[in-house]
Structures are given as C-alpha cells and as structure tokens.
C-alpha cells in the first residue's frame, strides 16, 4: 500500500500514472506520518544541492513533478510491513529527492521470504 500526504485525488492519480498494483491511500492530516515520526525537512533538505541533483537524474529518466503536496517540507519514508504488522524495512528520506532504489526494495522483500 502507498500512502501520500496529499488529497485522495492526488494519490489516486499518481498510482494510476505509475500502474501501481496495490492500494494507494491519502493521509492529508498526516496521522501516519506523525505515528511513524517522519520528519519535515529544512530548507536545505527540500531545496539544497542533493535534492537538485536527484531531481536532474529523475528528469533525465522522464519523471516530472506534477504538483506539490500540501506540505512541501514533508519528507518521505518507505516501509515494508509484513502481514503480522511487523516493520521489516524502514528508510527515512534524508532530503526530498532521497528515495530507495527499486533493487533495494526487491532485496528487502526477498529477505522476508528467505
């Protein structure tokens, strides 16, 4: 499941665009972000050199920013949670452009089934 801090319409549109094969939910009040202690970033974490470098790499791969969420300072995090509710993987973004590689996520999923 994917959870975004924007409105339901935004979460749905993003998941349709990327053909996400699982539910996409919105958390506009950021209750989940608060529960998992996902921090808001500083100006440097949101607009600094690391974010720009990540943005250029993403742009070259064809990714575009469609719209900013309600809180542009809200950093992201990625979790893999098993069926028993145990967090098996957690990665908190260091800046706005910090996202795990797909291979890293696949490796974490494989480790769960090993």
Q: CB within 8 A of 84, min separation 6: which ones?
A: none
**Residues 42 and 87 placed together within one structural domain of the fold:** yes
Q: How many other CB atoms are found less than 10 A from the CB of residue 70?
A: 13
Whether residues 52 and 28 fall in one domain: no
Q: What are the pLDDT digits (tens) for 56-110?
A: 877 787 766 655 567 889 898 999 988 899 999 999 999 988 989 889 999 999 9
Which residues 6+ apart lie within 8 Å of 20 measured at CB? 2, 14
Do 21 and 42 have their domain in common? no
Looking at the fold, whether 76 and 25 belong to one and the same domain comes out as no
Q: Which two tokens stand for residue 9?
A: 């319409």
Total domains present in the chain: 2
Per-residue confidence (pLDDT) for residue 87, from 0 to 100: 92
Q: Which domain holds residue 25?
A: 1-35
State whether 26 and 55 are in the same domain. Answer: no
Q: What is the total residue count of the chain?
A: 114
Q: Identify the pLDDT of residue 4.
A: 80
Residue 65, pLDDT score: 65
For 8-49, how does the pLDDT look when each residue is reduced to its tens digit (9 = 90+)?
Answer: 888 888 788 878 888 888 898 999 999 999 999 999 998 888
Looking at the fold, whether 31 and 64 belong to one and the same domain comes out as no
d(C-alpha 51, C-alpha 60), whole Å: 14
- Which helix or strand (DSSP H or E) is residue 12 part of? helix 8-17
């Amino acid at each position: 499941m994917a959870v975004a801090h924007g409105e339901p319409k935004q979460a749905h549109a993003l998941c349709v665009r990327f053909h996400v094969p699982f539910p996409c939910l919105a958390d506009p009040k950021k209750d989940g972000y608060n529960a998992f202690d996902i921090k808001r970033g500083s100006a440097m974490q949101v607009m600094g050199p690391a974010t720009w470098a990540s943005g250029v790499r993403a742009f070259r791969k064809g990714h575009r920013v469609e719209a900013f969420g309600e809180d542009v300072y809200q950093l992201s995090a990625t979790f893999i949670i098993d069926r028993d509710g145990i967090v098996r993987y957690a990665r908190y973004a260091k800046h706005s452009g910090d996202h795990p590689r797909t291979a890293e996520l696949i490796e974490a999923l494989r480790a769960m089934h090993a």
